[in-house]
Amino acid sequence: MIDALQTTERPGEAFEVQWRQAVKRRVVFVLTAITLWGLVVQTRLIWLQVIQHDYYVTTALNQQRRRVTVNAPRGDILDRHAQVLATSAEGTAITADPSEVEDPAGTAAQLCAALRDCSAKEKADFVTQLSKKKEFVYLRRWRSVSSDKLERVRTLELPGISFMAEPGRYYPNGSLAANYEYGPDGRVSLVIDPKGIQTQTAEVSVRGDRGAELQSAPHVEGRQLAVLQR
């Protein structure tokens, strides 16, 4: 047993110097490593939060929301007795976010199996649409999606596949007023001579303004147009 009070039993000065130098080297190494680690972290934070700030803010917003143009419903067309000849009705379109689709070909195959009326061309178009570097694409508009088809697609719960309400045109009296033509400016052209090609552009616009959808479509309505017959 070593007695600390006995000088003869203490380590020599050489050992003391060697021991202190070893401890000093270890302390310096640890402090240097911590300092370098702190510098690396601070440099990375400056790079992310200052230099790349705008880029990452834009990327985050693009991941969290998307902007979709929503076509405004057209106004009703009435006869002189105020009976509706043409009106807007809401349907449901099949849409997709390609960035969430991992297997475009497999997803297209499942969609066609649910729709049951896909042609080879339409199936190839689905694959092309689902492979795009976009966050929103139309797959089928509302006119080609019946309620039973819609329900079968909903049941699949395919990743990246969604549904969006969109306005459509409904004619209560069948083909009556169905051949009214709408130009890009929303004006309606009325055929006044069944045997010729003469047309007349109405002075009233029946199309509302297009809206933009972030989370829900804004309420945009067209104006009423009464067609007077003599």
Using one digit for the tens of pLDDT, what is the confidence trace for 197-229?
A: 334 444 444 455 555 444 433 333 444 444 444
Residues 17 and 85 both lie in one domain: no
Look at residue 37 and give its three-state secondary structure. helix
pLDDT, tens digit, 9 for 90 and up, residues 101-139: 999 999 999 999 999 999 999 999 999 999 998 888 999
Cα separation, 169 vs 86, whole angstroms: 7
* 39, 152: one domain: no
Look up the domain containing 88 and give its range. Answer: 68-226
Question: What percentage of residues in the chain have a pLDDT greater than 90?
Answer: 32
**Residue 182 above 60 pLDDT?**
no
Q: Please tell me the pTM assigned to this model.
A: 0.50
Lowest mean pLDDT segment, chosen from 9-18, 117-126, 182-191: 182-191
Do the domain assignments include residue 13? Answer: yes
> Are 119 and 178 in a shared domain?
yes
Take residue 109 and report the two structure tokens written for it: 């195959």
Q: How many domains does the chain have?
A: 2
User: Do 43 and 131 fall into the same domain?
Assistant: no
Query: Sorting pLDDT into bands at 50, 70 and 90, what band is 180?
Result: low
16 and 115 together in one domain: no
The pLDDT value given to residue 43 = 93
Query: Residue 1 domain-assigned?
Result: no
Q: Of 18, 35, 63, at which residue does a domain stop? A: 63
The answer to whether 92 and 164 have CB atoms below 8 angstroms apart is: yes
> Angle 120-130/104-115 helices, nearest 10 degrees?
140
